[in-house]
């Protein structure tokens, strides 16, 4: 195998798919015999929804959202959430206050119907995707040892040993791969414990709908039937023990100040803390970390899965390029430099929420001020944009405002979108020159770059990397800029019988 991915969570599955699309031979080792049914992420952000869109998975994800909305609508007495906004420290963000015409939001609306995608359904969707790509997912195989010999990695597992060109730890917050490579995991210690569960409730009228605060902590009831979330300051007695109905009930009674009675668990519940850490390095020789293996933080504002999917999209094509032999020098190093700042931002976004969640008088005063600010059009729009991920930018050279951003919805004259043309992976080049000048240049990178011609308009040209990041854009006919960008990201052009090599 060229690559072995450890962990078939959402991040491992996306990485395996991206590597397969880039032509690598890849396998996944997963210690669980069955997919994880635990309740974790309830939604995805815009870059994740757009990543699904770019691989042709948008209709399936939209179908999942429609089913979720049906359930939410019936719970809320017919009231429907039309647009996903999220919350900051339990302060719900009002969709009616958001300035949806803000350019960052308005230009990333095409995948909006696929935001409410719960993690188990997402993993099922991704599982089908990797199966279609022929990637073997070897379940019941736990990685226990590894040795990087410089030209390959020997992996020890509960099912024997295997040699692989590269190894990627997507094995979650307690990552064995991270531990076995000796990568440090510095950060801040936890101070609160939370639970998420779907339960049967004997006396639901004792609970208020939405987020409710008290000096003892907070809870949320809804928006799906029976869903409860609690959080309290203090560490759990045993973080590794399975969560019981009684434990969730005790926490809910404490924070709600009621004697509410829970009668059954409807889904595998989760317990979480605000342990917040980031790996000191995302790479050690032939071993990489991605997803929760590289960073952990509390789930406020729904960022963890998205952060990991972003890692996977970023690393997949780069490692695929190295294996295919066309990667430009230093390409793999850009994985850490591009993804580390996004991880650091997410950690601080969640830490800030802990700061206003504490029950003391100072935090309560700060929470009141933040609530006031969030209750304005600018404040809500700011927070919604951050949570949606539409302001994320990779620090890339180039003067055009699109460079470094995730590609917006680029509609073409024939009614399709640029994203419709990238389902097979690779770079996408939008060429709106009257004479196809960009397309002619890109023929030297055939097989790596797909060119899509369109009627003249601005931007005249856009080069989108396989991870959706705009590498180059122009409103003129900047041939030299496109050539330099192709060399930088897509490597040297390959000579072909039909075309003169472009140097
Ligand atoms: C209550 C809760 C709510 C959340 N809400 C959100 C949200 O709204 N939005 C959001 O974006 N994120 C949310 N998250 C975070 C999100 O669930 C995680 O960030 C996401 O699961 C990380 O994916 P991953 O693939 O990196 O790791 P995981 O999902 O943890 O997958 C790791 C996989 O590796 C396997 N594995 C572990 N060790 C080994 C080994 N040694 N050998 C082989 N396999 C191994 C595991 O069995 C597992 O299948 C939430 C989390 C929790 C707990």
Say yes or no: CB of residue 301 within 6 Å of ligand 1. Answer: no
Ligand 1 pocket check for 4: Cβ under 6 Å:
no
Q: Where are the domains of the chain?
A: 3-42+118-186+277-357, 193-273, 393-503
Closest C-alpha to ligand 1, atom 27:
172
Residue 57's pLDDT is: 97
Between β-strands 192-201 and 227-233, what pairing exists: parallel, antiparallel or unpaired? antiparallel
Alpha-carbon span 232 to 213, nearest angstrom? 10
Positive or negative, the Cα torsion across 385, 318, 25, 420? positive
Which pLDDT does position 239 carry in this prediction?
Answer: 74
**Whether the predicted pLDDT of 220 surpasses 80:** yes
For ligand 1, is residue 310 a contact (CB within 6 Å)?
no
Q: How far apart are CA 363 and CA 373, in angstroms?
A: 15
Beta pairing class for 26-30 and 470-474: unpaired
pLDDT (0 to 100) of residue 503: 37
Indicate the pLDDT class of residue 74, thresholds 50, 70 and 90. low
Q: pLDDT band for position 380 (50/70/90)?
A: very high
- Residue 213: which pLDDT band, with cuts at 50, 70 and 90? confident
Question: 405-430 pLDDT, tens per residue?
Answer: 999 999 999 999 999 998 999 999 99
Same CATH topology for 3-42+118-186+277-357 and 393-503? Answer: no
Q: pLDDT tens for residues 324-357?
A: 999 988 999 999 999 999 999 999 999 999 888 8
Q: What are the tens digits of pLDDT across the range 432-465?
A: 999 999 999 999 999 999 999 999 999 999 999 9
DSSP string, 171-232: --TT-HHHHHHT----EE---EEEEEEEEEES-GGGS-SEEEEETTEEEEE-SSTTEEEEEE
Measure 102 CA to ligand 1 centroid, in angstroms. 32
Dist. CA 465 → ligand 1 center (Å): 26
pLDDT exceeds cutoff 60 at 78: no
Query: 165-194: per-residue pLDDT in tens?
Result: 999 999 999 999 999 999 999 999 998 999
Ligand 1 pocket test target in 43, 87, 116, 119 with most atoms within 8 Å of CB = 119
For residue 296 and ligand 1, the question of a CB distance below 6 A is answered with: no
pLDDT > 50? residue 502 = no
- Closest Cα to atom 53 of ligand 1: 40
What is the fold of 3-42+118-186+277-357? FAD/NAD(P)-binding domain (3.50.50)
| DSSP H helices in 325-478 | 333-357, 361-374, 377-388, 437-442
What value does the mean pLDDT of the chain take?
93
Topology of the domain comprising 393-503: Glutaredoxin (3.40.30)
What is the distance between the alpha carbons of residues 263 and 214, in angstroms, rounded to a whole number? 24
pLDDT at 305 over 60: yes
Look at residue 501 and tell me whether its pLDDT is greater than 60: no
pLDDT band per the 50, 70, 90 thresholds, residue 66: very high
Nearest CA to ligand 1 atom 33: 7
Tell me the pLDDT tens digit for each residue of 131-156. 999 999 999 999 999 999 999 999 99
Q: How far apart are CA 218 and CA 231, in angstroms?
A: 5
Share of the chain above pLDDT 70, in %: 96
**b (16+ CB within 10 A) / e for 425-455:** bbbbbbbbbeeebbbebbebbeebbbbbebe
| Chain segment 397-408, per-residue pLDDT in tens | 888 999 999 999
Q: So what's the pLDDT on residue 242?
A: 87
Alpha carbon distance 185, 399 (integer Å): 36
CATH number belonging to the domain at 193-273, selected among 3.60.15.10, 3.30.70.2450, 3.40.50.300, 3.90.550.10:
3.30.70.2450
């Amino acid at each position: 195998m060229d690559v072995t991915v450890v962990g078939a969570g959402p991040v491992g599955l996306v990485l395996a798919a991206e590597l397969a699309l880039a032509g690598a031979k890849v396998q996944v080792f997963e210690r669980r015999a069955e997919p994880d049914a635990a309740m974790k992420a309830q939604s995805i952000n815009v870059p994740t929804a757009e990543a699904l869109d770019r691989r042709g998975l948008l209709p399936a994800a939209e179908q999942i959202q429609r089913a979720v909305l049906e359930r939410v609508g019936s719970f809320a007495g017919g009231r429907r959430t039309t647009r996903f906004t999220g919350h900051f420290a339990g302060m719900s963000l009002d969709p009616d206050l958001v300035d949806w015409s803000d350019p960052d939001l308005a230009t990333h609306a095409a995948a909006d119907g696929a935001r409410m995608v719960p993690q188990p359904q997402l993993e099922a969707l991704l599982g089908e995707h990797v199966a279609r790509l022929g990637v073997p997912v070897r379940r019941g195989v736990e990685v226990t040892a590894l040795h990087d010999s410089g030209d390959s990695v020997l992996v020890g597992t509960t099912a024997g040993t295997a040699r692989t060109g590269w190894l990627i730890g997507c094995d979650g917050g307690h990552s064995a791969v991270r531990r076995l490579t000796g990568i440090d995991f510095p950060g801040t210690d936890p101070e609160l414990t939370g639970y998420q569960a779907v339960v049967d409730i004997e006396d639901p009228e004792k609970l208020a709908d939405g987020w409710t605060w008290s000096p003892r902590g907070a809870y949320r009831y809804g928006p799906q039937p029976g869903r409860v979330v609690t959080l309290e300051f203090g560490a759990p007695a045993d973080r590794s023990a399975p969560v019981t109905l009684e434990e969730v009930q005790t926490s809910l009674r404490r924070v709600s100040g009621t004697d509410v009675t829970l009668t059954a668990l409807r889904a595998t519940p989760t317990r979480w803390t605000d342990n917040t850490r980031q790996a000191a390095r995302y790479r050690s020789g032939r071993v990489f970390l991605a997803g929760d293996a590289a960073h952990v933080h509390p789930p406020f504002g729904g960022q963890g899965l998205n952060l990991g999917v972003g890692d996977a999209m970023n690393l997949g094509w780069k490692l695929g390029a190295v294996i295919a032999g066309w990667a430009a020098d230093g390409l793999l190093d850009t994985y850490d430099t591009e993804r580390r700042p996004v991880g650091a931002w997410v950690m601080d976004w969640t830490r800030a929420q802990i700061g206003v969640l504490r029950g003391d008088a100072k935090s309560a005063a700060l929470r009141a001020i933040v609530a006031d600010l969030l209750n304005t059009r600018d404040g809500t729009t700011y927070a919604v944009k951050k949570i949606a991920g539409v302001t994320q930018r990779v620090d890339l050279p180039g003067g055009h405002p699109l460079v470094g951003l995730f590609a917006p919805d680029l509609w073409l004259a024939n009614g399709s979108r640029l994203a419709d043309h990238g389902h097979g992976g690779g770079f996408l080049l939008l060429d709106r020159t009257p004479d196809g000048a960009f397309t002619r240049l890109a023929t030297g990178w055939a097989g790596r770059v797909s060119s899509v011609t369109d009627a003249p308009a601005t931007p005249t040209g856009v080069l989108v990397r396989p991870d959706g990041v705009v590498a180059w854009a122009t409103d003129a006919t900047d041939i030299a800029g496109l050539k330099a960008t192709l060399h930088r990201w897509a490597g040297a052009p390959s000579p072909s019988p039909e075309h003169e090599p472009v140097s």
